[in-house]
Amino acid sequence: MVIKPKIRGFICTNAHPVGCAEHVQEQINYVKQQGALKNAPKNVLVIGASTGYGLASRITAAFGGGAKTLGIFFEKEGTERKTGSAGWYNTAAFQAAADAEGLWSKNINGDAFSNEIKQKAIDTIKADLGKVDLIIYSLASPRRTDPNTGETYSSTLKPIGDAVTTKNLNTSKREIDEITVEAASQDDIDNTIKVMGGEDWEMWIDALKSANVLADNFKTSAYTYIGKELTWPIYGHATIGKAKEDLDRATVAIKESTKALNGEAYVSSLNAVVTQASSAIPIMPLYISALFKVMKADGTYEGTIEQIHALFTESLYGESPRFDDGGHLFQNYKELEDDVQARIQTIWDSVTTATIDELTDYVGYHNEFLRLFGFGIDSVDYDQDVDAIAPIANMID
């Protein structure tokens, strides 16, 4: 079929298999150009391995360090009539590239919150890897079913205390308008912590420890975004911020429970980038468009793969990791510099619908959004007929 982007609101409902493969290959090429990672992990489990920072972590470990990788994700396969999800095509491309280079790689498609998928991962690690020395936790989901109670929780994106009215970039209409987000209830806060907090990360590490598949001196990291004043009302001092705080609680618990293994647990603070998750958060499209404008002007812009490669080389496996005041691995230090934030604030205060392209890099934002789904990539002919069915090799049933 000929596949063109179908955008509804802040999501793209289809994906292009060839475009996704090209996007993955670009990231692989970047990592290989940087040379071999020093002190690289050998056996890596990536929970949330098919898009965004999780995919970039898998690429960095495999193609930068030669690591064996086991990827967990929840994606849809294509059919003759409908495209698969971008994450499905990304993983098919990653697996093909890993096979071509003789890298061990296997995949599990299913609900990472479930006990069943945790057990599948453990069985695979025992059979093929023995133990894992790096566990990346990079899940973004709107809901989670607690495997022990069967209860399903849904996350919300709401401020805490009072409703917030703020400037917003309406990506559907390409207009600057205002958006009001109602304040969260206590249930909203609690449910968001259940979905996006550290409980499942902790459960993964506990399950791996109980099964004796954690290596001595293993490392694990979850990813977070910690902004400043502009994003604080809907990100920091909000339901999602409370969930991210719970990751800090989980970090302490994981370190305590794995003392005998000398395990290291971190929350890594990363740049605001265009992902399927961030595009759904009010204010982020405008904030990121302004951020891109400032950082590209300074020559400090980093996409997802650049951020993760730098995290691995500078902090996770670097000799002098950088920490923020909250004890997180601090990879978005360039974004949070006072001068950068002040210039973003100036853009924020003055931008109108008429000046979107002049003052922000919305074009760059939109292009990055399209690329998430395999569109807008120069090397791809989007008028060509393509097969929407792309098998993933080494999938564990």
**Residue 158 counted as an annotated binding residue:** no
Contact 58, 98 (CB under 8 A): no
61: left (phi over 0), alpha (psi -120 to 50) or beta: alpha
Cα radius of gyration rounded to whole Å, the chain: 20
305 Cβ contact partners less than 8 Å away, ≥ 6 residues apart: 26, 27, 30, 31, 56, 59, 60
**Residue 52 annotated in ligand binding:** yes
User: Which tokens hold the place of 173?
Assistant: 């209409």
Q: Is 139 annotated as a binding residue?
A: yes
Is position 48 annotated in a ligand binding site? yes
3-class secondary-structure state, position 307: helix
Which secondary structure element, helix H or strand E, spans residue 8, and what is its range?
strand 7-8
Please check whether residue 51 is in contact with residue 87, taking contact to mean a CB–CB distance below 8 angstroms: yes
316 is annotated as contributing to ligand binding: no
Instruction: Tell me whether residue 197 is annotated as binding.
Output: no
Rounded CA gap, 153 and 130, in Å? 34
Tell me: is residue 270 an annotated ligand-binding position: no
274 is in an annotated binding site: yes
User: Helix H segments across the chain?
Assistant: 17-33, 52-59, 65, 86-100, 115-124, 186-196, 199-210, 239-257, 284-298, 304-310, 338-350, 356-359, 362-372
Contacts of 370 (CB under 8 A, 6+ apart): 5, 12, 376
The answer to whether 244 is annotated as binding is: yes
Is residue 140 annotated as involved in ligand binding?
Answer: yes
The DSSP annotation for 161-195 comes to SS-EEEEEEETTTTEEEEEEEPPPPHHHHHHHHHH
145 in a known ligand binding site: no
Q: Is 53 annotated as a binding residue?
A: yes
DSSP-derived secondary structure letter, 361 = -
Our answer to whether residue 266 is catalytic in this structure is no
Nearest Cα to 172, choosing from 384, 12, 386, 357?
Answer: 12
- Give the active site residue among 235, 317, 362, 365: 235
First-to-last alpha carbon distance for the chain, in angstroms, is: 28
Residue 127 annotated as part of some ligand binding site: no
Extract the tokens encoding 86.
């971008």
> Which segments are annotated as binding site for NAD(+)?
48-53, 74-75, 111-112, 139-140, 244, 273-275
Instruction: Please state the residue numbers annotated as binding site.
Output: 48-53, 74-75, 111-112, 139-140, 225, 244, 273-275
Q: From the annotation, which residues make up the binding site for substrate?
A: 225
What is the set of active-site residues? 235
